[in-house]
């Protein structure tokens, strides 16, 4: 019993040659890797810094206290 391959051999060889000849870091080789490896961590860091700054400002000015 022989199972047919998921991807044609020519397409697989094209992908292999693309990934072997590219001169980027290994974690940025795919099409959407820049989104998951760069953009999302930067967005999380920026939003957390904004919320920390807003919290410090509110504490120093006494805004939003519960009575």
pLDDT tens for each residue of 7-24: 888 888 998 888 788 777
Please name the residues in contact with 7: beta carbons below 8 A apart, sequence gap of 6 or more.
15
pLDDT digits (tens, 9 = 90+) for 28-60: 667 787 788 889 999 999 999 999 999 999 999
Q: What are the respective helix, strand and coil percentages of the chain, to the nearest 5?
A: 65, 0, 35
Residue 23: predicted pLDDT = 77
Rounded Cα distance, 30 and 38, in Å: 13
- Give, as one character, the DSSP assignment of residue 32: S
């Amino acid at each position: 019993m022989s199972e047919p391959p998921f991807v044609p051999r020519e397409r697989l060889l094209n992908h292999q040659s693309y990934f072997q000849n590219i001169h980027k870091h290994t974690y940025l080789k795919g099409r959407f890797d820049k989104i998951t490896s760069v953009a999302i961590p930067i967005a999380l860091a920026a939003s957390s810094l904004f919320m920390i700054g807003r919290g410090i400002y509110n504490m120093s000015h006494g805004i939003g206290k519960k009575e």
